[in-house]
């Protein structure tokens, strides 16, 4: 962390505004993480051409198997492949998907290279060669540039789906030609560098982006776990019970804490919609209970948390909910006492235990931020300190000196042990965040369990647990404990 006369500076994300040096920084970061790869894996330039056709919309392992088969039948040279039986080629490349289409394209391209001469074609000037490749059936930008770079050894940076996805993760979006121009303008015109850089992107993306290992990503560290709206909606629709948490955590490669947070917020939202209906039916519920139906059964039949149904019954019987819950052992109605205990024990959302756990999670998040600030020797006032001064709207932390994160002035930090969806973010913006900005300046909201990529807080920052990772082993362990906690 740097310090100037006016405050503290954290250069959280070096690639936020892509500049020439940042393109080089990404290369160095990937190279340090993976090491040299020496791509493209091929023995001859024409084998590269074959690979560029076969790899379209399939895994490279499938391409390797297909090429092994072609080599076995001695079909790795243009003239031999051009004369080969189409049915045989189809059988050999079947595992690559769209095998009939790819087999025909392979034979057609082989014929073209056999007629025109491999050396004659690959010795053409870069732009002329690229345009010629694009004129061939089945050859698009990525395939053409792969042939130019890897088969002809000419400087053309390849943009593939991995590159596009990786750039999007660090806030850089553009079409194929725009991204290619960015890389080529930022890098020296160097064929080995272009090859190595593209290979590093592919290898890194397969191992991190494809497996959603965002916590360990060397590029997005500090940027956080923004969840795509489509993914969120799929999780939201499918998570309905505690049993769903572990299953969906594996399916969507998220922590159990993230799935649990979404389930909790879904349940709370559902209950809020049903409150009016429950209150209107309170007398009916009391009647059914007095006829022998248990509180848990009533809750299950009406799809509401058991503690909430217990509260309805308690109120209808003329008791004080607060008094009853604190004095179950002395309650004169033993059946009611037993059923309330059963209800609260089975309720992971609205019971006193559930509320206490949520308070613990909130305190854990605040403690982590406090330790992070202490580690950096950043002075601050807590929410309690501010209230003692008579402040009405108080963030969790008000900093003594301005903290600069990627150029944004941070005067306060608010901790939220939840997942930041649009509904929750809008609610807290109206209730808290806009008042903090008005009273204290711009700040940072921490959604510990991640947040949607659609939520915004203009002029302020939204981050998650990754912002505080990799500073101290003890802090990392506390973050892991927070993320693994469920309901």
Bridge-based pairing of strands 7-10 and 397-405 is parallel
Evaluate if pTM is beyond 0.95.
no
* Residue where a domain terminates, one of 291, 326, 350: 350
Q: Is 286 within a domain?
A: yes
Residue 208, domain extent: 20-216
What pLDDT shows up at residue 221? 53
Q: Which has the closest alpha carbon to 382: 399, 402, 365, 359?
A: 399
Name the least confident of 72-81, 111-120, 160-169, 406-415. 160-169
Q: 142, 160 in Cβ contact below 8 A?
A: yes
- If asked whether residues 400 and 339 sit together in one domain, one would say no
13 pLDDT more than 60: no
Closest CA to 226 of 30, 430, 462, 476: 462
Q: Tell me how far apart the alpha carbons of residues 432 and 436 are, in angstroms, rounded to a whole number.
A: 6
Say which residue the tokens 């939220």 belong to: 416
Q: Is the peptide bond before 73 cis (omega within 30 degrees of 0)?
A: no
Strand locations in 420-483 (E): 443-447, 451-452, 461-463
Pick from 403, 405, 393: nearest CA to 433: 393
In this structure, is residue 4 part of a structural domain? no
Confidence of residue 255 (pLDDT cuts 50, 70, 90): confident
Whether residue 308 sits in one domain with residue 425: no
Lowest mean pLDDT among 376-380, 407-411, 431-435, 466-470: 466-470
Phi (first) and psi of residue 415, to 5 degrees: -100, 130
Give tens-digit pLDDT for 275-296.
888 889 999 999 999 999 999 9
Q: Please tell me whether residues 309 and 458 are part of one structural domain.
A: no
* CB crowding 201-240: b at 16 or more within 10 Å, else e: bbbbbeebbeeeebbebebbbbbbbbbeeeebeebbeebe
**Co-location of 51 and 164 in the same domain:** yes
92 lies in the same domain as 33: yes
- Residue 187, C-beta contacts closer than 8 angstroms, at least 6 positions apart: 23, 24, 27, 157, 193, 194, 197
Q: What share of the chain is helix, strand, coil (3-state, %, to 5)?
A: 60, 10, 30
**Are both 315 and 371 inside the same structural domain?**
no
Looking at the fold, whether 333 and 474 belong to one and the same domain comes out as: no
Do residues 335 and 375 share a domain?
no
User: Residue 230 falls within a domain, yes or no?
Assistant: no
Specify whether the CB–CB gap between 162 and 202 falls below 8 A. Answer: yes
On whether residue 6 sits in a domain, the answer given is no
227 within domain boundaries? no
Q: How far apart are CA 150 and CA 45, in angstroms?
A: 7
Pair (328, 362) in one structural domain: no
Q: Is residue 226 part of a domain?
A: no
* Predicted confidence (pLDDT) per residue in 186-243, tens digit: 899 999 999 999 999 988 888 777 655 665 677 765 445 678 899 999 999 999 999 9
Looking at 305, 332, 350, the residue that finishes a domain is: 350
Return all residues near 355 (Cβ < 8 A) that are at least 6 apart: none
Phi-psi region of 412 (alpha: psi -120 to 50; beta: other; left: phi over 0): beta
What total number of domains does the chain contain? 3
The rounded distance, in Å, linking the Cα atoms of 202 and 223 is: 21
The answer to whether residue 454 sits within a structural domain is yes
| Beta-bridge partners for 2 | 9
Q: Residue 84 belongs to a domain with what CATH number?
A: 1.10.340.30
Residue finishing a domain among 216, 239, 260: 216
Question: Is residue 25 located within the same domain as residue 94?
Answer: yes
Q: Tell me: do 165 and 300 sit in the same domain.
A: no
418 with 449, same domain: the answer is yes
**Res 240: pLDDT:** 92
Mean pLDDT of 394-399: 97
CATH of the domain at 453: 3.40.1350
Residue 68 belongs to a domain: yes
What value does the mean pLDDT of the chain take? 88
């Amino acid at each position: 962390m740097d310090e100037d006369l006016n405050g503290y500076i954290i250069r959280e994300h070096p690639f936020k505004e892509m500049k020439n040096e940042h393109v080089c920084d990404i290369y160095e970061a990937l190279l340090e993480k993976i090491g040299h790869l020496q791509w493209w894996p091929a023995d001859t330039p024409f084998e590269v051409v074959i690979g560029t056709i076969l790899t379209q919309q399939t895994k490279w392992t499938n391409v390797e198997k297909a090429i092994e088969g072609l080599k076995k039948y001695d079909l790795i040279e243009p003239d031999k492949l051009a004369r080969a039986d189409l049915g045989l080629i189809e059988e050999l490349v079947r595992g690559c998907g769209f095998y009939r289409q790819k087999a025909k394209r392979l034979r057609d391209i082989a014929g073209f290279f056999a007629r025109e001469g491999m050396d004659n074609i690959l010795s053409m000037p870069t732009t002329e060669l690229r345009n010629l490749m694009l004129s061939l059936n089945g050859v698009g930008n990525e395939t053409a540039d792969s042939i130019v770079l890897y088969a002809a050894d000419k400087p053309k940076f390849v943009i593939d789906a991995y590159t596009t996805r990786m750039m999007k993760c660090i806030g850089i979006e553009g079409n194929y030609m725009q991204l290619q121009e960015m890389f080529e303008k930022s890098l020296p015109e160097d064929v080995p560098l272009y090859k190595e850089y593209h290979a590093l992107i592919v290898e890194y993306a397969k191992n991190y982006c494809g497996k959603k290992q965002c916590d360990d990503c060397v590029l997005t560290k500090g940027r956080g776990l923004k969840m795509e709206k489509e993914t969120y909606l799929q999780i939201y629709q499918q998570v309905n019970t505690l049993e769903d948490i572990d299953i969906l955590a594996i399916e969507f490669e998220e922590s159990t804490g993230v799935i649990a947070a979404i389930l909790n917020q879904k349940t709370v939202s559902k209950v809020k919609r049903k409150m009016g209906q429950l209150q209107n039916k309170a007398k009916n519920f009391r009647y059914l209970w007095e006829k022998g139906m248990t509180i848990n059964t009533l809750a299950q039949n009406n799809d509401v948390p058991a503690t909430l149904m217990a509260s309805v019954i308690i109120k209808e019987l003329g008791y004080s909910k607060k008094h009853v819950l604190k004095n179950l052992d002395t309650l004169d109605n033993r059946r009611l006492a037993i059923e309330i205990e059963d209800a609260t024990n089975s309720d992971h959302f609205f019971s006193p235990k559930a509320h206490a756990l949520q308070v613990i999670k909130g305190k854990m998040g605040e403690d982590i931020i406090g330790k992070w600030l202490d580690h950096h020797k950043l002075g601050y006032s807590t929410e309690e300190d501010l209230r003692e001064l008579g402040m009405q709207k108080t963030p969790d932390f008000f900093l003594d000196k301005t903290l600069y994160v990627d150029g944004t002035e941070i005067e306060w930090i608010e901790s939220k042990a939840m997942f930041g969806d649009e509904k929750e973010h809008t609610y807290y913006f109206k209730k808290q965040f806009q008042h903090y900005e008005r009273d204290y300046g711009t700040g940072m909201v921490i959604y510990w369990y991640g947040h949607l990529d659609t939520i915004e807080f203009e002029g302020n920052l939204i981050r998650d647990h990754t912002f505080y990772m990799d500073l101290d082993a003890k802090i990392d362990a506390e973050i892991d404990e927070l993320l693994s906690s469920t309901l």
